[in-house]
Chain A
Amino acid sequence: MKYFIAALLALLAVSLPDLVAAASDALPPDAAPQPSRLDYPVIAGISARSLAWSMAQMHLFLAAFVLAVPLFSIATEFMGVVTGDDRFDTMAREFMKITMAAYSLTALVGGGLLLTLLVFYPHLMGYLVKVFRGQMLIYALLFGLESITLYLYFYSWDALRRGNRKYYHMSIGLVLNTVGLTLMFVANAWVSFMMSPAGIAPDGAITGTVWEATRNPLWNPLNLHRFLANIAYGGAIVGGYAAYMFLAEKDPVQKAHYDWMGYTSNFIAILGFLPLPFAGYWLMAEIYAYSQQMGITAMGGILAWLFIIQAVLIGTIMLAANYYLWSGLMRTDRGAQYGRYVKYIAVVIVGGFLVWVTPHTLILTTSEIQNLGGTHHKILGPLGIMPAKNTAVNLMLVFTFLSFQMFYRSSREPVVPWAKSANMVVVALYVVGIANIIGAGIYGYITPTVYKVGASVPQVVTTLTIIIGSVIIDVFMLRGAKSEKVHWGRMTERSQYALFVLPVAFTWLMGLMGYIRSSLRTNWHVYTVMKDNSPENYIPTLGDAGNTITGITLAFMAVMVFVFWLSRLGQTRQKNAEISA
Chain B
Amino acid sequence: MMARKYLVFVLALVIWAGVFYFIDKSIMQAQGLPVGADMMPI
Contacts and interface: CB of A to CB of B under 8 A. Distances in A.
B3 to A, nearest CB: 12
List the 10 closest A-B pairs by CB distance, nearest first: A428-B12, A432-B16, A424-B9, A458-B24, A421-B8, A436-B20, A425-B12, A424-B8, A428-B13, A454-B33
Given A425-B9, A431-B13, A465-B19, 9 more contacts: A424-B6, A424-B8, A424-B9, A424-B12, A432-B16, A436-B24, A454-B31, A454-B33, A455-B28
B5 A420 contact: yes
B15 to A, nearest CB: 8
Nearest to B4: A421
Contact of A462 (B5, B6, B15, B20): B20
A427 interface: yes
B35 to A, nearest CB: 8
B37 interface: no
B34 to A, nearest CB: 10
The secondary structure that dominates the B interface is helix
Nearest to A450: B33
Contacts of A458: 20, 23-24, 27-28
Given A421-B8, A454-B31, A440 B24 contact: yes
Nearest to B30: A457
A163 interface: no
B31 A457 contact: yes
A408 interface: no
Contacts of A447: 40-41
Contact of A454 (B16, B20, B28, B40): B28
A440 B33 CA distance: 14
Interface in A439-487: 440, 443, 447-448, 450-451, 454-455, 457-458, 461-462, 465
B9 A427 contact: yes
Contact of B27 (A432, A450, A461): A461
A181 interface: no
A433 interface: yes
Contacts of B9: 424-425, 427-428
A429 B33 contact: no
A66 B9 CA distance: 47
B20, B27, B33 interface centre (most CB from chain A within 10 Å): B20
Contacts of A432: 13, 16-17, 20
Contacts of A465: 19-20, 23
A443 B39 CA distance: 9
A429 B16 contact: yes
B16 A462 contact: no
B8 A425 contact: yes
Contacts of B8: 421, 424-425
A427 B12 CA distance: 9
B28 A424 contact: no
Contacts of A429: 12, 16
B23 A461 contact: yes
Contacts of A450: 33
A450 B24 CA distance: 15
A458 B22 CA distance: 10
A462 B23 contact: yes
Which residue of A432, A433, A448, A450 has the most chain B CB atoms within 10 A of its CB atom? A432
30 contacts: A420-B5, A421-B4, A421-B8, A424-B12, A425-B9, A428-B9, A428-B12, A428-B13, A428-B15, A432-B13, A432-B16, A433-B20, A436-B20, A436-B24, A440-B24, A443-B39, A447-B40, A447-B41, A448-B41, A451-B33, A451-B41, A454-B27, A454-B31, A455-B28, A458-B27, A458-B28, A461-B23, A461-B27, A462-B20, A465-B19
